[in-house]
Amino acid sequence: MHRLLKRQIKKIGCGDVECTSAQIKRLLRLVDQTYRDGDDDRLLLENTLTISSKEMQGLYQELERKSQKELAKSEERFHRLIENLQNHYFFYVHDTEGVFTDLSDSITNILGYTKEEFMQYYGDFLSDDPMNAKVYEYTQRALSSERQPPYELSIYHKDGSVRYLEITELPLLSATGEVEALEGIARDITKQYAAQEKIFHLAKHDDLTGISNRFYLDEQLQTLLASAKRHEKSFAMLFLDLDHFKQINDTLGHDVGDRLLQQVVARISPNIREEDIFARIGGDEFIIVLTNVDEAYLAVTIGKIMELMRQIWIMDDYELKVSTSMGISLYPQDGKTMIELMKNADIAMYRAKELGRDNFSFFTDELNQIVHEEMRLEQDMAQALRTHQFKLFYQPKMELATDRIIGAEALIKWDHPQMGMILPDKFIALAENTGFILRLGAWIIEEGCRAIARINRTTNTHVHLSINISTRQFQHGDLFKTIKDALDENDIDPKQFTIEITESVMMENSDEMIRRLEKIRELGVHICLDDFGTGYSSLAYLHRLPIDAIKIDKSFVDAIPKDGRKAILLDTIVAMGRTLGIAVIAEGVEEEYQRDYLIKQGCLFYQGYLFSHSVREEEYIEYLNENALLAIDKY
């Protein structure tokens, strides 16, 4: 029996005996009441659940509305963030071969290129900055799933400026866990890079003048010393101290003194090369390091600096006269360490002050004499040109088969009133370094044409004359006009005039140089390539150059064996000239066996001491009257 029924029966007093009718009725009433109470409880529960459900549904709907609203706000913030980042980031994907497969539109904001332009020509936009050398290496690491920090690269903006990017790359994996692509984020760090560079620059440069400070000079010299030792190169250290600078500071104030120091740097800087070092080491003391110098450049630069310092300095209402005392030490002969070189340059500088200031002195006496002599030559050159001290001498060019003269090469010498006859190797480099070669070269062309006209009047030969053209003259002077004017003025056949150039003329902007040569050749002038075989580009340029002849350098002639063995390089040059229809001239022929060998190889012309040194015009005319071929167009 159910426990609830038992409880009800017990409640009416039936117990274990039979119940009376009245008890049964009472029982039924209790049972009915119990069901009614149960129904009321169930109804209350249902009502409570319904109300709770509605409240929960309302709360859920309210929560959902709030969530969607917050989500919309979050999405809006995210889109704003992405939009704001478009000027700083772009995103990309490329496959394992490095081919871009996706790129964000923000590339245009950052680098100016369209998506299509960048995806197709990306490799062409990378700058030649050394930092880009490891881009491929970084990408390969990412493709191998190797974790790595972001890296930097340098790239050209479409407007030509350089931008710096920070790159973060992550591998994209396939379902099988294989790397199938790379996903990258590129951040524009140009401003940060510029700020770092500025900080770096300030740490290494003098804050008053902007040139290297003592700290950076030490660093540059250590690098230069290592390079000079490895490549066996020399360099010069110039120690400059301004004369009487302390008086300017004491009388006119440090502000005027500071501005004077700035003007010293502004005046000297344009007159030294980019590869040279210029540093202020304190107060009015400066160091200039001339890297990889020869004596001619050293003499010219020292003279130029001394002259610049002697010029009047205008400071407010003051005209100041400030000179410098300069000491010079050379690597390696005057020291092999930075300390030794600076100490010896300082000693030499004090020697210059003892000589009366406004002077310079080398640590070694021998070089003192050489440089002073070269400076004197530099100063005398302009007057030498005005007073006709320069002279042309003529070395005959010979036909090998007949040993008769076909022409000559004009060589310049300087008949100095005190120093006697000076050979060109003593002053041509000085003329090149000072720019005087432009005036001197023009005079050689004009005098050469005048000489041709004189020789034509006194002989019956009409042979050619060749003139050496310097690299600087060819690149910077108006060579075409100078030649044309000289030919016209002297009324000579252009075929009698030959210019000789070296390969170095063609090393820069070769297409423009070729156009200049073609224009000169159109005058009828012959063109000869001098010192052929000593450069790096002879074979590459030969078929392109508008030339009529090549000169085999003397070193190849010297290498001709006496025992009859082959001179392979010389043979190749002769054969190549013959194949191309270019005349070949061997220079520096001094021995009969050399002449015999050249004839056997089919070389047509030579010049050298075997026949004659360079001679004056009168002696050359005698040679022509005795021994010249009459043909004008031998080559």
526-532 vs 497-501, strand pairing mode: parallel
Residue 298 lies in a domain: yes
Q: Which of 74-78, 246-250, 305-309 has the highest mean pLDDT?
A: 305-309
If asked whether residues 256 and 308 sit together in one domain, one would say yes
Same domain for 403 and 273:
no
- Average pLDDT value for residue range 210-223: 92
Q: What is the CATH number of the domain that holds 270?
A: 3.30.70.270
Which residue type occupies 62? Answer: E
- 460 and 365 within one domain: no
Rounded to an integer, what distance in angstroms lies between the CA atom of residue 213 and that of residue 217? 6
User: Is 399:634 a contact under the CB 8 Å cutoff?
Assistant: yes
Q: Say whether pLDDT at 616 is over 90.
A: yes
Residue 154 falls inside a structural domain: yes
Q: What is the mean pLDDT of residues 445-460?
A: 93
Q: Is 562 a domain residue?
A: yes
Query: What are the CA-CA distances from residue 365 to residues 306, 331, 362, 371, 422 (Å)?
Result: 19, 15, 7, 10, 23
83 domain residue, yes or no: no
From 74, 109, 137, the end of a domain falls on: 74
Do residues 169 and 308 both lie within one domain? no
DSSP helix, strand, coil percent of the chain (3-state; round to 5): 50, 20, 25
Nearest to 237 by CA among 328, 332, 303, 306: 328
Q: Give the residue among 549, 264, 203 at the shortest CA–CA distance from 407.
A: 549
Please list the residues that pair with 529 across neighbouring strands: 501, 550
Which pLDDT belongs to residue 78?
Answer: 45
As a whole-number percent, the residues of the chain with pLDDT over 90 amount to: 38
User: What is the band of 477 on the pLDDT scale with cuts at 50, 70, 90?
Assistant: low
Same domain for 503 and 397? yes
Q: Are residues 606 and 473 in the same domain?
A: yes
Q: Are residues 216 and 182 in the same domain?
A: no
| 365: containing domain | 207-378
Q: Which residues pair with 500 in a beta bridge?
A: 468, 528
Inside any domain, residue 597? yes
The answer to the question of residue 573 being in a domain is yes
Query: What pLDDT does residue 62 have?
Result: 67
For 517-570, what is each residue's pLDDT tens digit?
Answer: 999 999 999 999 988 876 554 555 677 788 899 999 898 999 999 887 888 889
pLDDT digits (tens, 9 = 90+) for 126-150: 888 888 888 888 888 888 877 778 8
Q: What are phi and psi of 620, to 5 degrees?
A: -65, -40
Q: Do 262 and 314 lie in a common domain?
A: yes
CATH of the domain at 513: 3.20.20.450
Of 74, 104, 127, the position where a domain reaches its end is 74
Distance from C-alpha of 134 to C-alpha of 152, rounded to nearest angstrom: 9
**Domain total of the chain:** 4
Q: Look at 65 and 129; give whichever has higher pLDDT.
A: 129
Q: Are residues 236 and 273 in the same domain?
A: yes
The phi and psi torsions of 457 (rounded to 5 degrees) equal: -75, -25
The domain that contains 93 carries what CATH number? Answer: 3.30.450.20
CA distances for 144 relative to 147, 257, 276, 286, 543, angstroms: 9, 62, 45, 53, 49
Query: What pTM was estimated for this model as a whole?
Result: 0.56
In this prediction, residues 485-490 reach a mean pLDDT of 95
The per-residue pLDDT for 50 is 62
pLDDT tens digit sequence for 569-594: 898 889 888 888 899 999 999 999 99
CA dihedral in degrees (516, 518, 522, 524; nearest 10)? 100
Mean pLDDT of the chain: 84
Gap between the Cα atoms of 287 and 53, Å rounded: 91
> Are 167 and 153 in contact, with CB atoms under 8 Å apart?
yes
Q: What is the pLDDT of residue 444?
A: 96
Is residue 453 situated within a structural domain?
Answer: yes
Strand partners for 392: 412
Q: DSSP letter string over 530-594?
A: EEETSSSSHHHHHTTS--SEEEE-HHHHHT--TTS---HHHHHHHHHHHHHT-EEEEE---SHHH
The C-alpha angle with vertex 442 and arms to 525 and 386, in degrees rounded to 5, equals 145
Domain membership of residue 127 (yes or no) is yes
Which pLDDT score, from 0 to 100, does residue 460 have? 80
Same domain, 570 and 615: yes
List all residues 6 or more positions away from 495 whose beta carbon is below 8 Å from its beta carbon. Answer: 464, 524, 525, 526, 632, 633
Q: Which of 134, 163, 195 finishes a domain?
A: 195
Q: How confident is the model at residue 413 (pLDDT cuts 50, 70, 90)?
A: very high
14 and 117 inside one domain: no
pLDDT of residue 446: 96
Tell whether 266 and 343 lie within a shared domain.
yes
Half-sphere exposure (Cβ direction) of 631: Cα atoms closer than 13 Å: 7
Closest-CA residue to 279 (of 329, 335, 332, 204): 204
* Model confidence pLDDT, tens digit, residues 315-336: 877 788 888 999 999 999 999 9
CB-based contacts of 611, cutoff 8 Å, min separation 6: 396, 398, 403, 589
Please compute the mean of the pLDDT values over residues 507-513 and round it to a whole number: 72
Contact 625, 459 (CB under 8 A): yes
Cβ-contact 504, 472 below 8 angstroms: no
Going by pLDDT thresholds of 50, 70 and 90, the confidence category of residue 389 is very high
Give CA–CA dist 342/335, Å, rounded: 9
Report how far Cα 92 is from the mean position of its chain's Cα atoms.
Answer: 32
For strands 390-399 and 404-416, give the pairing.
Answer: antiparallel
